[in-house]
Structure 1
Amino acid sequence: MTPSPTYRVGIAGASGRMGRMLVEAVLAADDCRIGAAFDQPGSATLGQDAAAFLGQRSGAVIGADLSALAGCQVLIDFTRPEGTLAHLQACVQQRVQMVIGTTGFDAAQKATIEAAAQHIAIVMAPNMSVGVNVTLKLLEQAARALGPDYDIEIVEAHHRHKVDAPSGTALHMGAVIAAAQGRELADCAVYERYGHTGARAPGSIGFATVRGGDIVGDHTVLFAGTGERIEISHKSSSRTTYAQGSLQAVRFLAGRSSGLYDMYDVLGLR
């Protein structure tokens, strides 16, 4: 029997909440190993083994020097936009693929990632969960079938430490729904309501944000019609789903030299 390939995976933000979940997932995968682990200069974890928090040894020491990417085939990055773009530059220079789960990019930053994808293969998605991406497909179908007679509201909830709002997943849900109805989200999104707002604008897509506690990630889309409403929800109880989806993205990138992909591509939902 031919042995499974071993993917040498770099992990950005290795001592953060998501980084540690990725470390654990890579260690548990038969076909992956940690090629390098990174954190910000000055982090208290620099010089420690990436799996020290588990009482294990991965053989990869957390560092800040991106030259260690030379030992990796792909870097998984769930950090912040500025950090991800710095990592992106290093990956292009060293021809290392990327899986990007970071959210909060502006239009110029997204354009930079698109340009980099001409040189390396990248999977970028605001949510790596398999369940979330199946939910996105359901939303696409519902939006197309229900049409303009149903008002659409998107409610998302995350932990108190999340710094961007609405979440990247919520925004992507809105974009998928708008596209399914032949519209652009920028033309119909409503992000704030306060005071005397007047009646709801026909065709608008509303967003509501909740932040508190340790909520991993909840998203509900409400299609409210006359006499009925439909709610499609996804609730995450663990970041494990994001980590496992990321490893599916790593495997998908094998053999690809360039291009920008998302989880629809990884899961065959296109």
Structure 2
Amino acid sequence: MTTDIVILGAKGRMGNTLVNLTQADDDLRLVGACERPGNADGLSIDGCIVTDDLDELLPQVPGAVIIDFTSPETSVATAKVAAKHGNPVVVGTTGLNKEEQAELEKSAQEVPLFWAPNMSVGVNTLLKVLPALVQALGSEYDMEMVETHHKMKKDSPSGTALKLAQCLAEARGWEYDDVKNHCRDGIIGERPHEEIGVQTLRGGDVVGDHTMFFFGPGERIEVTHRAHSRETFASGALRAAKWLSSQSSGKLYAMADVIE
């Protein structure tokens, strides 16, 4: 069965990667490429409708799965337009606040909708196994994280770092917002026991590195995930799109649903 795909932000780095991988997959068919208003000029893809108006495009490609790695505001708007026309949506955008996530939840009641701040199978497997590690080590181990991304990344900490840190907090029975520390500066005193530090590095063209530290008495454990290419995330999104095409509305799906 072939899955029809519409890619938002097709001229961007991730969008271009998605276009290339979609065209190389016999189980996928690229039927639409959409850019922000006024930015579609010069974009030409054989056999594909190119436009800057998603609302105008979707009636021409019924059932096509939209893939959106744009911005929080755009992704929320995309979900609303998709719900109007009945097209499933895969969202890989990071940096969504609680209100924007709630908007996605609302749209998910009307159309199949998937959202993951990280599409990597490796990261999502980590989210499944980290709680067991945290619980086995016990409360004597302090938990910290360092995340590194390219200098063009706009949000900090990364959505992946936040998801991983929230996973660590939940494994300890903590509310993440109560224990997070995203910046240390000056005379700050001793580290509180109930704290998770997440520090951010930005530079060059790093796709994405996340290292979790577990500092215990006389030893430490480091768990690192490194993304070597944007294809890691694009491939995960296309896998999610194939899966989502046969799902029903009523739930905001995540990568755990696809893996399981």
Please give the TM-score of this superposition, normalised by the length of structure 2.
0.95
Question: Paired residue for 2:44, among 46, 49, 69?
Answer: 49
Distance in 2 (alpha carbons) for counterparts of 1:8 and 1:192: 44
RMSD over aligned Cα atoms:
1.2
Distance in 2 (alpha carbons) for counterparts of 1:185 and 1:148: 16
Mapping for residues 58-137 of structure 1, pairs under 5 Å: 59-66=47-54, 67-70=56-59, 71=61, 72-137=63-128
Mapping for residues 195-214 of structure 1, pairs under 5 Å: 195-214=186-205
Distance in 2 (alpha carbons) for counterparts of 1:46 and 1:141: 51
Shift of residue 69, structure 1, vs aligned partner: 2.1
Residue 161 (str. 1) matches residue 152 (str. 2)? yes
Distance in 2 (alpha carbons) for counterparts of 1:217 and 1:183: 26
Q: Which runs of 5+ in 1 are unaligned?
A: 51-56
Match of 1:38 in 2: 34
Distance in 2 (alpha carbons) for counterparts of 1:135 and 1:177: 11
Moved more, 226-235 or 144-153: 144-153
Match of 1:29 in 2: 25
Distance in 1 (alpha carbons) for counterparts of 2:100 and 2:254: 17
Partner-residue secondary structure (3-state), 1:208: strand
Question: Paired residue for 1:265, among 253, 257, 260?
Answer: 257
Question: C-alpha deviations, 1:186-229, integer Å up to 9, x for none?
Answer: 11111111000111110211010000010000000001111111
Distance in 2 (alpha carbons) for counterparts of 1:69 and 1:237: 34
Distance in 1 (alpha carbons) for counterparts of 2:58 and 2:208: 30
1:127–1:169 Cα contact (<8 Å) kept: yes
Distance in 2 (alpha carbons) for counterparts of 1:147 and 1:181: 9
Q: Which amino acid aligns with 2:140?
A: D
Shift of residue 47, structure 1, vs aligned partner: 5.2
Question: C-alpha deviations, 1:101-142, integer Å up to 9, x for none?
Answer: 101111111111111111111111110011111122232221
Partner-residue secondary structure (3-state), 2:138: helix
Mapping for residues 4-19 of structure 1, pairs under 5 Å: 5-19=1-15
Identity percentage of aligned residues:
44
Match of 1:219 in 2: 210
Please give the TM-score of this superposition, normalised by the length of structure 1.
0.92
Partner-residue secondary structure (3-state), 1:149: coil
